[in-house]
Amino acid sequence: MNLLHVLPSLDPAAGGPVQAVRHSAVALARLGHAVEVATLDAPDAPFLADAPVPVTALGPGRGTYGFAPQAPVWLRMHAPRFDAVIVHGLWQYHGLATRQALQGLSVPYYVFAHGMLDPWFKHAFPLKHLKKCLYWPWGEYRVLRDARAVLFTTGEERFLARQSFKPYRARERIVPCGTPAPPGDAARLRARFRQAYPTLATQRVLLFLGRLHPKKGCDLLLEAFARIAPAEPGLHLVMAGTGDAGVVSRLQALARELRVATRVTWTGLLQHDMKWGAFAASDAFVLPSHQENFGIAVTEALASGIPVLISDKVNIWREVDADQAGFVASDTIEGTTANLRRWLALDPVCAERMRAQARLAFSTRFTIEAHARALLDVLEPDRGLNA
């Protein structure tokens, strides 16, 4: 198949959906499919240099919406080369541009919602939700309505998506995300990370890796860490990721206020071997998120054999719990603290068993190959429509 992924940006700092697209594109290409990407990035955006497949940058898009008038022109001209177009994410111009460009053509398009219809946003950001409600009837509602299918990564995401906006009409399908296995042996990756952060070599590391965003519960993690730190002198927290400068500043101020600043390392964005090295060097991965569509970093931790301590707002929490690959609690300070204490209370035999369960959960549920097969199961019935 010839496939085109369309998304606002390939910037790794944008979080999980970008990683999901990159992983998916590589996996599909390895299976012999021709894959390209179109974004609203500026053509000279530096992160496009290491894109894993051919990229056409149709921007720079204007403002946070990413309006780029050339996008529908290019899409309409080039769409007939593809068997299917896959739109990633909502609330920016790329979705509307795709719908407009493909009207009257025989090329089907699909939409990966990536958690952006979760009702949590309605309650957390009511003013933004009001603006979205005004845009919904003539924008995203029509994009979803006219898509060949709207793709959700879990049944939980699909259920929650129905609760945010009315009217709502979509042909719903579930396509789980996946992630590749770590590139190489854990010892090499661990050494790479510890070379950059030598003081952590003797520490028992708890890792957060993701966007530093209010929905991720970073403040809960700092509060919970401060509660357990006095009794665990060898414990250290690594906060890996980037975010809005104001958010990062407030989190670092909170660490100082809680008197744990010297036991928290802020690495910024970690990529490639440094990212995998952080997993390999860690004792456990922690994500007390208030809303998490899937959690690519969760599956990367499982792939590394690292138990995950997550909230019950991470939409794969049921799978983690069933596989005994970590601990699950509420997205509160108390719940996050309970997860940390349960992990720290495990004896070495039980801890090693949970590490083995983490690897097993990844290999049976969350490989990138399983994702590619599930996506092709949705797309391949439409093969030949453009012939």
Share of the chain above pLDDT 90, in %: 93
Please tell me if the domain spanning 2-178+368-382 has the same topology as the one spanning 186-365: yes
Longest dimension (CA), the chain: 67
Closest CA to 18 of 65, 50, 64: 50
Q: If phi over 0 gives left and psi between -120 and 50 gives alpha, with beta otherwise, what is residue 267?
A: alpha
In a 3-state reduction of DSSP, which class is residue 49? helix
pLDDT tens digits, 295-324:
899 999 999 999 999 999 999 999 999 999
pLDDT at 174: 95
Buried b / exposed e over 317-340, threshold 16 CB at 10 Å, is: bebbeebbbbbbbebbbebbbbbb
pLDDT for position 149: 97
Q: How many CB atoms lie within 10 A of CB 78?
A: 16
Sign of CA dihedral 386, 57, 367, 144: negative
How much is the CA Rg of the chain, to the nearest whole Å? 21
> What is the fold of 186-365?
Rossmann fold (3.40.50)
pLDDT tens across 67-122, in order? 999 999 999 999 999 999 999 999 999 999 999 999 999 999 999 999 999 999 99
**How do residues 3-53 score in pLDDT, each as one tens digit?**
999 999 999 888 778 988 998 999 999 999 999 999 999 999 999 998 989
pLDDT tens readout for residues 139-188? 999 999 999 999 999 999 999 999 999 999 999 999 999 999 999 899 99
Does the pLDDT at position 385 exceed 50? no
> Mean pLDDT score of the chain, rounded to an integer?
94
Alpha-carbon gap, residue 117 to 170, rounded angstroms: 12
Q: Which pLDDT band holds residue 387 (cuts at 50, 70, 90)?
A: very low
Rounded to an integer, the average pLDDT of 253-262 is 98
CATH top class, domain 2-178+368-382: alpha beta
Q: What are the C-alpha distances in Å from 336 to residues 62, 245, 302?
A: 39, 25, 19
Which sequence spans correspond to the domains of the chain?
2-178+368-382, 186-365
pLDDT of residue 274: 97
Residue 270 pLDDT > 70: yes
Percent of the chain topping pLDDT 70: 98
